[in-house]
Chain A
Amino acid sequence: GAGVSQSPSNKVTEKGKDVELRCDPISGHTALYWYRQSLGQGLEFLIYFQGNSAPDKSGLPSDRFSAERTGGSVSTLTIQRTQQEDSAVYLCASSPRRDGEQYFGPGTRLTVT
């Protein structure tokens, strides 16, 4: 079956611009996570959605970062006024339940110039 998909696979943007990254989770998975992978910081948790509960935003690095999940399915991570330190690979994962294993997408490589 289809796995987690993310788009775009690569995004180059100028400093100060806004970007939107999209994640399509595996159908039926109730939990969705965003992580960031960068050379300096490794793999970091950003935000977690579970069903209709309020998201866990504890990993978002600044108020320039936000995310939403519409209809319990697709999620969009938005970064406003991008900075060079936002350059990283943004990974999305979904899980069939809150305590289940997480299945990762291929990631979006963001480069801020």
Chain B
Amino acid sequence: AQSVTQLGSHVSVSEGALVLLRCNYSSSVPPYLFWYVQYPNQGLQLLLKYTSAATLVKGINGFEAEFKKSETSFHLTKPSAHMSDAAEYFCAVGGTGTASKLTFGTGTRLQVTL
């Protein structure tokens, strides 16, 4: 079975500060990993994905994530937070073969303050 754990249900950063959202995964096979963002009353938007190519993945809106097999982690970062980044972020595993369905973490709500 595959699973993900997101550490911290709420993260608050100042505008311009580094954003770091943590995700650890568990998978018996090489995983596909994803980060999605959800703005209030909207669906999920794909930020980036890891599918066993480059371990450093760049996504939209200046976000990136690094796959670290030794740490079973896929943390999401952005060098400088913007007010518009305030949203809920979900890490997910799956999307491959018979495990095509996504298994989501519990989400991290990012607050950006002035």
Residues of A participating in the B interface, judged by any CB pair closer than 8 Å: 4, 31, 33, 35, 42-43, 45, 48, 50, 56, 59, 91, 93, 95, 98-107
Contact = CB atoms under 8 A, between A and B. Distances in A.
B95 A45 contact: no
A59 B101 contact: yes
A98 B32 CA distance: 12
Is chain B's binding surface mostly helix, strand, loop or mixed?
strand
A101 B90 contact: no
A22 to B, nearest CB: 15
Nearest to A42: B106
A46 to B, nearest CB: 9
A31 B100 contact: yes
B43 A48 contact: no
Contacts of A103: 46
